[in-house]
Amino acid sequence: ALYHEMTARMPRWIRINTLRATRDEVLAWLAEHSYAQVEADEIGGVKEFAVSKHVQGLLAFHPKATSALLQTEMYRDNWIVMQDLASCFPAYILDPPADAQVVDATSAPGNKTSHLSAIMFAKSSRRIGQSEGRVVAFERDALRYKTLVKRLAAVGALAKDATTGNVIPERRDFLTTNPADFGDVTHMLLDPSCSGSGIVNRLDFLKEDDDVDELEDTVAAETGETKLQRRLRQLGEFQLLMIRHAFKFPGLRKVVYSTCSVHAQENEAVVIRALHSEEADKFGWRLAPRSEVIPTWPVRGDPDACGKEQGVAESVIRCIPGGKGEGDKPHVEACNGFFVACFVKHAPTKRPLE
């Protein structure tokens, strides 16, 4: 019943894919097909939609509008991408300029990758296909890599020839990359495998996270840890390793870390450990202030998980699964449970790592 109540409150989020259509074209299509724009929190029927207050180019529809939207030519021609609000935060916060050299460390199926590409082209005076910047998209899993390439091509983000996008996919384990080979990289998205515990509505996340195990919290191991505790500990170690590796990229200025987990062990705890790592100290990594991390978003980090590091809680973003709304009406802040932190680097003051 709780699950039903939460998903009923979650609008169907749609990102306008500006690699294929303009915002005006999408809004005109909606008007022609009798969809009416209403105020946020006023979506009462399947023919009503609202514009996100937090992320540009994102529209909210009634959850019952989904099947009709999936049958439109707008969807078929990839003018729109079905992408949850929370899943749009990372690329929006990373906000790479048109000429940025970006790495998406963990890309498949590529929703955030193509969002990055669209953000860069929107800032560029050049036509799509002539971007000054580029996104190198790593994915280590063979099957998921295939999905990534297919998806990038469909939405117009793949750098195939002079008339397409700016994303170069590479089937590769991010942890085997040598940061020194990527001296020009300035921005990075890090959305590693996680427990997926924040996912309420699997519609968009099904593909994003189908590498995730189903966790049960029932079996106790010899150590006294439950299966869930052990898995969260392992995931936390892996996620920390990924951030520490990212910190070593010499030209990097901004890293956005995200999970679709509600567990502090994968979120605030990982961020705090990363801030205390050798790499953070030597290269001068810190958290970006709230003013640079969607300041209008009301739900920040869990203060209980931050202990003495209360500054961390303000700087990071959490999404409460299903949002904070009540009753059956779709709520404009309702989305899957999610976490985002944005690390930035000031000039290193100490001897760089050997």
Which chain residues interact with ligand SAM by CB under 6 A? 87, 106-112, 138-141, 144, 173-175, 191-193, 208-209, 211
Nearer to ligand SAM, 10 or 116 (CB): 116
Q: 177 vs 315, which CB is nearer to ligand SAM?
A: 177
What is the token pair recorded at 100? 């940025």
Cα 343 from Cα 254, distance rounded (Å): 6
User: What DSSP designation does 293 have?
Assistant: S
| The one catalytic residue among 194, 260, 306, 342 | 260
Beta carbon of residue 105, minimum distance to ligand SAM (angstroms, whole number): 6
> How near is the Cβ of 208 to ligand SAM at its closest, in Å?
4
| CB 183 to ligand SAM: min, Å | 20
Beta bridge partners of 82: 14
Return all residues near 103 (Cβ < 8 A) that are at least 6 apart: 135, 136, 137, 138, 182, 185, 187, 188, 189, 249
Residue 51 contacts residue 96 (beta carbons within 8 Å): no
| Residue listed under structure tokens 């929370």 | 86
Residue number with CB closer to ligand SAM (146 or 345): 146
3-state SS assignment for residue 220: strand
- Asked whether 312 and 22 are in contact (CB, 8 A), the reply is no
Write the DSSP assignment of 65-114 as a string of letters: GHHHHHTSHHHHTTSEEE--HHHHHHHHHH---TT-EEEESS-TT-HHHH
HSE at residue 80, side-chain half, CA atoms within 13 A, is 28
CB 90, min distance to ligand SAM, A: 8
Least distance between ligand SAM and beta carbon 141 (Å): 4
Least distance in angstroms from the C-beta of 289 to ligand SAM: 25
**Between residues 7 and 113, which has the closer beta carbon with respect to ligand SAM?**
113
Strands (E), the chain: 12-16, 36-37, 48-51, 58-61, 80-82, 101-104, 134-139, 167-171, 187-190, 254-259, 285-287, 317-319, 338-345
**Least distance (Å) from ligand SAM to the CB of residue 199?**
10
Tell me the residue number closest to ligand SAM, measured at CB: 106
Which residues have a Cβ under 8 Å from the Cβ of 310 and sit 6 or more positions away? 303
Token pair for 193: 């495998």
Report cis status (omega within 30 of 0) of the bond before 330: no
Q: How far apart are CA 351 and CA 354, in angstroms?
A: 9
Tell me whether residue 86 or residue 313 sits nearer to ligand SAM (CB atom): 86
- Residue 260 designated active-site: yes
Smaller CB distance to ligand SAM: residue 109 or 337?
Answer: 109
Active site residues: 260
